[in-house]
């Protein structure tokens, strides 16, 4: 995954938050992707304009105590989103 790629959410997926869990839900496919806290933060930052590097930098600034794991957490979450069809990555426009 390249840092300049832009994660673009699939508009058919909805973020659902319950008292103790967060999930992405695709109503037509009845597909559900369960998210941990880190993955839900990454999803919320994916607005179709921010690059992978932008998202990582925002999380590093907000969670300095977790700086050692943020890169791998972001990559893991994005990989899961792409694998499940909830998102695709596009190259940053020149």
For the stretch 41-84, pLDDT in tens is 999 999 999 999 999 999 999 999 999 999 999 999 999 999 99
Q: Which helix (H) or strand (E) holds 53?
A: helix 52-62
pTM for the predicted model, two decimal places: 0.89
Residue 53 burial (10 A CB sphere; 0-12, 13-18, 19+): middle
Is 6-84 a domain of CATH 1.10.10? yes
State the pLDDT confidence band at 92, using cuts at 50, 70 and 90: confident
pLDDT band of residue 18 (cuts 50, 70, 90) is confident
Q: Is the pLDDT of residue 94 over 60?
A: no
Domain residue ranges of the chain, discontinuous segments joined by +: 6-84
Mean pLDDT over the full length of the chain? 92
């Amino acid at each position: 995954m390249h840092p300049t790629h832009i994660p673009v959410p699939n508009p058919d997926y909805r973020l659902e938050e319950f008292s103790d869990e967060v999930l992405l839900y695709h109503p037509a496919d009845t597909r559900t992707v369960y998210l941990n806290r880190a993955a839900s933060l990454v999803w919320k930052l994916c607005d179709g304009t921010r690059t992978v590097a932008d998202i990582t930098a925002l999380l590093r600034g907000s969670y300095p105590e977790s700086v050692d794991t943020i890169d791998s957490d972001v990559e893991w979450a994005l990989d899961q989103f792409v694998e499940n069809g909830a998102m695709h990555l596009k190259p940053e426009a020149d």
